[in-house]
Amino acid sequence: MGFSCKEFKVGKCEGEKVVDGETMPLVLEPPASTKSDIESLLLALENNKDWFEQMIIKNSAVLLRGFDVKNAEDFNEIVETFGWEDIRYVGPAPRTHIYKRVWTANEGPLSEFIYYHHEMVLIKEFPKKVILFCEIPPPEGGETPFVPSFKVTERMVKEFPEEVKQMEEKGLKYSFIARSTQNDNSSMRGRGWEDAFGTSDRKVAEERAKALGMEMEWLPNGGVKTILGPRNLTKVFEGRKGRKMWFNTLVGMYGKELSSAMMADGTEIPEHVVKRCEEIIEEESIQFKWEKGDVLFFDNYALLHGRRPSLPPRKVLVATCK
């Protein structure tokens, strides 16, 4: 599907790439300076909902830039225009609810790099779309780089055909430790289990974890170890050219203090394979600088994303949709 919508103008941003014939991200700007207000944007989105969603699938990332999006209330109106169902975040990142469907992005220290991932990749039900809004761009760093997932699979299959085949056949198993009941914003994985599962009742937490495809082991210090597996190494999603996405968090959880990743039968994954995968992901990454008022739509089926370290202040809000 080509670009054809008179209510948006195609722009450019530093760092964009053409991948398999498609520009990532596709930058959409107001067609005229008189059409940059939030009311004009909402009307344009309302009139072109189906087309806009197809652009997200086609280009994997769509960046609205140059519109007068001021705050969480404006951002929420944009999200709700489409009628996409909300999905509650489940994961280790500490986050704060801001307004209706809007939350803070990971509140872990800005000095830390949040590694590339598909949002909620380990949970049985994960979002189809991740939408980000930049209220305060950082003075330095703080980019939200993203990676076309299928490119990682292509290169890993080419370089490690036997290892990839083995991981595909056996599946993957992960573990993660939440140290306490309370959130710890000094860590990018500091979310306590009570917040993560929405309860202080251990039995209820276990039931909710089971529904999400997790097992739990309670630790003497009040924390909990969650075990997830088997999980797929890759996935193919309808409408995405049959591309095999690198739909896992192998690199992000392998050999860390609070997490692990291995094959589902307990076989260790060779370290050199994981290290090379990390290099490939970085080589395929797409970087762009946030500007105030940016709204970025990700196809979560197709892209891994992360967060570069930055100087404060930085305020990026998020909504996740089915």
Q: Where are the domains of the chain?
A: 9-142+288-321, 149-281
Can 9-142+288-321 and 149-281 be said to share one CATH topology? Answer: yes
Retrieve residue 192's tokens. 């306590």
| Residue pair 301/136 in contact by the 8 Å Cβ criterion | no
- Residue 189: the pLDDT is 62
How do strand 295-299 and strand 9-11 relate by DSSP bridges?
A: unpaired
Residue-wise pLDDT for 42-64, tens only, equals 999 999 999 999 999 999 999 99
Tens of pLDDT along the chain (322 residues) come to: 456 799 999 999 999 999 999 999 999 999 999 999 999 999 999 999 999 999 999 999 999 999 999 999 999 999 999 999 999 887 777 789 999 999 999 888 999 999 999 999 998 899 999 999 999 999 999 999 999 999 999 999 999 999 999 999 999 999 999 876 666 665 656 678 888 888 899 999 999 999 888 999 999 988 899 999 999 999 999 999 999 999 999 999 999 988 999 999 999 999 999 999 999 999 999 999 999 999 999 999 999 999 999 999 999 999 999 9
How do strand 235-236 and strand 244-245 relate by DSSP bridges?
A: antiparallel
Retrieve residue 258's tokens. 């609070």
What's the whole-model pTM score?
Answer: 0.93
Phi and psi for 204 in degrees, rounded to 5?
-65, -40
- Residue 1: the pLDDT is 47
| Residue pair 63/28 in contact by the 8 Å Cβ criterion | yes
Q: Is 181 exposed, middle or buried (0-12, 13-18, 19+ CB in 10 A)?
A: middle
| Residue pair 296/25 in contact by the 8 Å Cβ criterion | yes
Check: CATH 3.60.130.10 for 149-281?
yes
Residues 6 or more apart whose CB falls under 8 angstroms from that of 213 comprise: 122, 123, 124, 228
- Residue 314: the pLDDT is 97
Residue listed under structure tokens 């992960």: 174
- Residue 183: the pLDDT is 65
Give the CATH fold of the 9-142+288-321 domain.
Answer: Double-stranded beta-helix (3.60.130)
- Residue 185: the pLDDT is 63
